Amino acid sequence: MQFLVITQDAPGADWEGKDKVLRDEARHVWGLQQQGVIRNIWFTDPGRDAVILMECEGIQAARKILDDFPLVRHGLIVYTATALTPYDGYERLFRK
């Protein structure tokens, strides 16, 4: 199952002196990409919020993976995860 994940800074997040956790986050994300869990990741412009396309078994598995992100564990970001379903609009082309 695929999920669209959008992150935002947590309310009151203090980014000062967070270089190590940012490096840990990049390493963590890279590992998930290598495993095929993260299919794509982008930043919004402006804002630099992360937008992630990920694939896993279900919403509980997605939340477990996302809750393990270093920036989530350190209370610096929050996320929303939305399940994606296949587009079925093509069916309209074949209705009589």
CATH topology of domain 2-86: Alpha-Beta Plaits (3.30.70)
What pLDDT is recorded for position 96? 81
What pLDDT is recorded for position 11? 97
Residue ranges per domain, the chain? 2-86
pTM assigned to the model: 0.91
What pLDDT is recorded for position 42? 98
Contact 4, 81 (CB under 8 A): yes
Average pLDDT, consecutive stretches of 10 residues, N- to C-terminus, the chain (96 residues): 98 97 98 98 96 98 98 98 96 89
d(CA 75, CA 10): 7
